[in-house]
Amino acid sequence: MPADRLPARGTPRGVAVLMTCHNRRERTLAAIASVYAQTGLPAGTRCTVHLVDAGSADGTADAVRAAFPATDVLTVGADVHWGTGTRIAATRADPAAHVLWLNDDVVLDPGALTALLDTAAPLDRPAVAVGAMRSGDGTRTTYSGYRLAPARHRPPALRRIEPDPGNAQPCDTCNGNAVLVTAAARRILGDLDPAFPHRLGDHDYGLRARRAGIPLLLAPGHVGTCDDNTHALAGTSAEPGLDVRTALKRLASVREQPPAPWWRYCRRHLGPWAPLVFCSPYVKTALRRRPGAWPQHPTAPLRADP
């Protein structure tokens, strides 16, 4: 995205909302409705929605076109996942726009986009603004920004940040449920790395922003509602009763921990700890599933299917 495509300083800029969906018609409609219901935006701000429908069989694409005719809808194959779909949506957006990654199961608060724009201000600088999500019952944070916690004798860990009601907070990476990337940051970092077709692209993007010296800021409070899928174990490697081979096959699928993207992420961000961290999920899964293994509480994948 060349620099001469960026608007002049002070000119109101558009925000391109990038979404991917698959067979979640009602949730997708609710998410898009929450975009068009945003309030308090700066005068002249134009918001466009670019939805990549990954082969939904429940009529999602037609329902969106009927309910929101201004939405740009592209239908692709069911083998397209969140990372790839978000990249496709980005190619259909104005290259000079700020972009908002938005999961199709997020319902934004009315002032969410304004809060993210305020967090990233001044908007002519490179910045990434992260929006934290609350659970549907309002009792807890489900997705947010993270701080990197280095340690001398163990791999670095990511610690989730609780949003402060009144202040933005610096973070090192993020979940990609609702993330605003300014046009200037996008010019430097590009869009999501195609090496990550589904998971890890958001964490990778945040860590690359950190490495490039681009501020990554968690907006004050929560900006929307999005339940996690901690207990949705059916069909995953954590489903009870699986044999080792089936569990490892599911773990290595694109929906969970496919080896090639996982190795790229580890090698890029974990330094000398990369080989150990790379092997860890596969070894743990095999040990949990071996005959006679001590029962352990299963862990669901880090990201649900978009």
pLDDT for residue 44: 85
Q: Which residue has the tokens 């610690």?
A: 159
pLDDT digits (tens, 9 = 90+) for 204-236: 999 999 999 999 999 999 999 999 976 667 788
C-beta atoms surrounding 246 within 10 Å? 13
Structure tokens at 9: 């300083």
Topology, domain 14-225: Spore Coat Polysaccharide Biosynthesis Protein SpsA; Chain A (3.90.550)
Average pLDDT in the 178-194 region? 96
Q: Is pLDDT of 303 > 50?
A: no
Q: Strand 98-102 vs strand 173-174: parallel, antiparallel, or unpaired?
A: unpaired
Q: What is the pTM of this model?
A: 0.88
- Over pLDDT 90: what percentage of the chain? 79
Any idea where the domains of the chain sit in the sequence?
Answer: 14-225, 244-287
Q: What does pLDDT average to over the chain?
A: 89
Sign of CA dihedral 125, 73, 113, 135: negative
Crossing angle of helices 274-289 and 244-251, rounded to 10°: 140
Q: Is pLDDT of 72 > 90?
A: yes
Contact 176, 118 (CB under 8 A): no
Average pLDDT in the 31-43 region? 95
Q: How far is CA 64 from CA 51, 57, 107, 186, 246, in A?
A: 9, 13, 15, 27, 37
Average pLDDT in the 99-112 region? 97
Average pLDDT in the 180-207 region? 96
pLDDT for residue 231: 63
